[in-house]
């Protein structure tokens, strides 16, 4: 019974998804009704997740369902972030599809399924469960990207993502097989015990297996050198889906990352030096890509790569004794709030068929829609790490964690990278505020996304007061 209680949010989300699928089969449900239902279900799942009692510290060793799943404060908060991402993406979608083609009634159902996979990912304490969760999430995301079958752009994006994602999935399975060969078990607890007994580097199957799994996870996390797909896929997906991918998928993947690296200190130590270079390269390559972009969506995609780099810094710094994952979660929450905020704002400012997509399309926005421009500016400043926003505190905790674990150079490189990123964040602010407007950015009907944007702008400030222990 306790097991069931622990996965209640998962059950709620999955039930909601099936409910949505059934609802979509009835003709009487129109786009508006389905949208409201989808948003409501995300809100419901969020509150269910909120009520789950869980005070356990982070651990990769599960007890529920025979060690398949693990629940802790870490998984709970990660789940909250994911469901909040889903909620705000759903709000953005409602508005987006009043101006854009390509809505299918199963859209929200797929979002819920994706969220379901993500929740499972954060809780997985066993490799096969992990794989199933990963595929539930990925398949739903593929469908979301390509829900508009007639669009060439969407089809191209999904093809790229699907092909590479299939490879990543295959890598993951292969890695699991190796680890099973090395540790005679797929459960994290057993793997950790085997490593503790016989050592990590002496066991080639474990080394190779965990390498393959890391490759798959780095692919999903959009880290260097597996970042090449990000810009095209994010650009090709419908705007709210891009926002959902950039935030919720990242949250889920980094939760897995933290869980997986926590299996054993030696495993984490084995990968730290690689993760070190990967994080540096991810940050700087991401910055270089972002600086060159003219499309906002592509710039945000590339800046997502940079933020993955910062999060990997936090993974490198895991080895301090009292690690509790709060640094990672705080950063993810701050990043999710600001990124989703921008996507929510773009979903109503983008216009029909995403006609406004480049920097120059937003010339003089502040003169016509000052509140929207102010919100976007707040989100950008948060992403750039300027106080008093949550993004600043997130960066502060990550750099402090790196310094504390002795990675001074990594922290300094992170700082330098955020100086570079000022370039493209400031660019949008300059365009919005210092140019003359060319159009009126009209929004026809009463919609939810402006409200969502406003709430997210407030939460960017509110999140920074959440205390975090490094």
Partner 1 sequence: MFENLLSIMIFVPIVAGLAAFVLPLSRDAARIIGLAVSVIVVLLGIKVFLAFSGASGGFEFVEYVPINDSLGIAYSLGVDGISILVLAAAATLFPMVYLLFQTKEKGYYANLLIVQGAMIGAVAATDMVLYYVFWEVMLLPVFFMIGLYGGPNRLPATIKITIYTIAGSLLMLASIIYLGISYHAQSGEWSFAMANLSKMSLTGPTATLAFVGFMVAFAIKIPLFPFHTWLPDAYTEAPTATTFVLSAVMAKIGVYGVIRFVVPVFDESFARYALILACSGVIGMMYCGIAALAQKDFKRMLAFSSASHMGIIALGIFCMNIQALTGTLFQIVAHATSTGVLFLLLGIIEERTDTRNIDDFGGLASRAPIFALFFAVAMLASVGLPGTSGFIGEFLIILGAVKFNPLIAVFAGTTLIIGVCYMLWLFQRVFFEKPNSKLAGFADLSAIETLTILPIVILIVVMGIYPQPFLAKIEPSAERQLALIERVQQVAEYRLEVTNPGQELKTGDL
Q: Which is nearer to partner 1, 177 or 400 (CB)?
A: 400
Structure tokens at 163: 């092909």
- Taking CB under 8 A as the criterion, the residue among 186, 418, 453, 459 binding partner 1 is 418
Decide whether 64 or 386 has the Cβ nearer to partner 1.
386
Looking at the Cβ atoms of 233 and 378, the one nearer to partner 1 is 378
Report if residue 412 touches partner 1, rule: CB under 8 A. yes
Give CA separation, 154 vs 104, 137, 147, 344, in Å.
14, 18, 8, 20
* Distance set, CA 423 to CA 220, 364, 384, 417, 430 (Å): 26, 19, 9, 11, 10
Measured from the CB atom, is 262 or 470 closer to partner 1? 470
Distance from C-alpha of 45 to C-alpha of 377, rounded to nearest angstrom: 30
If phi > 0 it is left, if psi is from -120 to 50 it is alpha, else beta; for residue 278 that is alpha
**Given 56, 422, 443, 458, the residue binding partner 1 (CB under 8 A):** 422
451 binds partner 1, rule: CB under 8 A? no
Stretch that binds partner 1, among 75-83, 167-175, 209-217, 387-395 (CB under 8 A): 387-395
**Nearest by Cα to 95 from 445, 356, 376:** 445
Report the residue from 1, 152, 446, 469 that binds partner 1 according to the rule CB under 8 A: 469
Among 8, 426, 443, 458, binds partner 1 (CB under 8 A): 426
CB of 68 to partner 1, least distance (A): 33
* Exposure class string for 204-243: b at 16+ Cβ within 10 A, else e: eebbbbbebbbbbbbbbbbbbebbbbbbbbbbbbbbbbbb
- Kindly state the greatest CA–CA separation across the chain: 68
One of 25, 170, 201, 408 touching partner 1 (CB under 8 A): 408
- Which one of 22, 170, 288, 415 is in contact with partner 1 (CB under 8 A)? 415
Residues forming beta bridges with residue 295, ordered by sequence position? 358
Instruction: For residue 465, state whether it binds partner 1 (rule: CB under 8 A).
Output: yes
Q: Which residue, 162, 328, 346, 146, is CA-closest to 254?
A: 328
403 binds partner 1 (CB under 8 A): yes
Candidates 138-146, 349-357, 414-422, 441-449; binding stretch for partner 1 (CB under 8 A): 414-422
- Mention every residue, 6+ apart, whose C-beta is less than 8 A from residue 174: 209, 212
From the list 391, 392, 390, the residue with the least C-alpha distance to 464 is 390
| Residue 319 buriedness (CB in 10 A; 0-12 / 13-18 / 19+) | middle
Does position 4 bind partner 1 by CB under 8 A?
A: no
Q: Which of 400, 443, 454, 461 binds partner 1 (CB under 8 A)?
A: 400
Say whether residue 404 binds partner 1 (CB under 8 A): yes
67: left (phi over 0), alpha (psi -120 to 50) or beta: left
- Looking at the Cβ atoms of 225 and 388, the one nearer to partner 1 is 388
Residue range at the interface with partner 1 (CB under 8 A); choices 59-67, 80-88, 357-365, 427-435: 427-435
Minimum CB distance to partner 1 smaller for 353 or for 370: 370
Closest CA to 62 of 195, 185, 194, 188: 188
Per CB under 8 A, 391 contacts partner 1? no
Residues 342/380, Cβ–Cβ less than 8 Å: yes
Peptide bond into 338 cis (omega under 30): no
Does residue 419 touch partner 1 according to CB under 8 A?
A: yes
Using the minimum distance from each CB to partner 1, give the nearer residue, 170 or 415: 415
The structure tokens listed for 462 are 């509110």
Whether the link from the prior residue into 250 is cis, omega within 30° of 0, is: no
* 17 vs 470, beta carbon nearer partner 1: 470
Number of residues binding to partner 1, judged by CB under 8 A? 30
Is 392 a residue that touches partner 1 (CB under 8 A)?
yes
Torsion of CA 184, 191, 138, 229, to 10 degrees: -110
The binding track of 361-380 with respect to partner 1, each residue x by CB under 8 A or -, is -------------x------
Q: Give me the count of residues in the chain.
A: 470
Among 182, 286, 411, 452, binds partner 1 (CB under 8 A): 411
Residue among 65 and 461 whose Cβ is closer to partner 1: 461
Query: Which residues make up the interface to partner 1 (CB under 8 A)?
Result: 374, 381, 385-388, 392, 396, 399-400, 403-404, 408, 411-412, 415-416, 418-419, 422-423, 426, 430, 433-434, 465, 467-470
């Amino acid at each position: 019974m306790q097991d069931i209680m622990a996965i209640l949010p998962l059950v709620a989300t999955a039930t909601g998804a099936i409910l949505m699928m059934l609802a979509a089969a009835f003709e009487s449900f129109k786009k508006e009704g389905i949208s409201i239902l989808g948003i409501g279900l995300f809100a419901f799942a969020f509150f269910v997740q909120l009520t789950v009692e869980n005070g356990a510290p982070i651990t990769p060793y599960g007890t529920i369902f025979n060690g398949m799943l693990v629940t802790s404060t870490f998984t709970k908060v990660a789940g909250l972030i994911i469901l909040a991402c889903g909620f705000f993406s759903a709000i953005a979608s409602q508005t987006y599809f009043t101006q854009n083609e390509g809505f299918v009634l199963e859209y929200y159902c797929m979002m819920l399924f994706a969220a379901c996979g993500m929740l499972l990912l954060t809780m997985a304490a066993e490799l096969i469960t992990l794989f199933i969760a990963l595929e539930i999430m990925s398949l739903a995301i593929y469908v979301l990207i390509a829900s508009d079958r007639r669009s060439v752009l969407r089809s191209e994006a999904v093809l790229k993502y699907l092909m590479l994602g299939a490879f990543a999935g295959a890598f993951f399975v292969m890695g699991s097989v190796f680890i099973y060969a090395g540790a005679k078990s797929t459960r994290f607890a057993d793997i950790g015990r085997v490593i503790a007994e016989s050592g990590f580097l002496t066991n080639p199957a474990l080394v190779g297996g965990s390498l393959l799994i890391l490759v798959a996870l780095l692919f999903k996390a959009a880290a260097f050198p597996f970042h090449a797909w990000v810009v095209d896929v994010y650009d090709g997906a419908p705007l709210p889906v891009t926002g959902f991918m950039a935030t919720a998928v990242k949250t889920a993947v980094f939760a897995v990352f933290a869980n997986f690296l926590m299996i054993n200190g030696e495993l984490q130590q084995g990968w730290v030096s690689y993760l070190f270079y990967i994080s540096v390269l991810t940050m700087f390559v991401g910055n270089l890509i972002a600086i060159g972009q003219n499309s906002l969506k592509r710039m945000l995609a590339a800046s997502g790569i940079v933020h993955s780099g910062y999060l990997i810094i936090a993974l490198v710094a895991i080895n301090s004794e009292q690690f509790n994952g709060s640094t990672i979660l705080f950063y993810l929450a701050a990043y999710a709030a600001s990124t989703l905020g921008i996507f929510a704002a773009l979903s109503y400012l983008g216009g029909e068929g995403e006609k406004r997509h480049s920097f120059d399309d937003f010339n003089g926005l502040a003169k016509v829609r000052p509140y929207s421009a102010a919100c976007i500016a707040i989100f950008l400043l948060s992403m750039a790490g300027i106080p008093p926003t949550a993004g600043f505190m997130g960066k502060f905790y990550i750099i402090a964690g790196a310094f504390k674990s002795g990675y001074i150079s990594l922290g300094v490189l992170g700082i330098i990278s955020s100086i570079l990123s000022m370039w493209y964040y400031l660019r949008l602010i300059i365009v919005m505020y210092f140019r003359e407007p060319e159009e009126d950015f009209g929004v026809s009907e009463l919609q939810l996304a402006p409200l969502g944007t406003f709430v997210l702008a407030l939460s960017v400030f509110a999140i920074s007061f959440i205390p975090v222990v490094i």
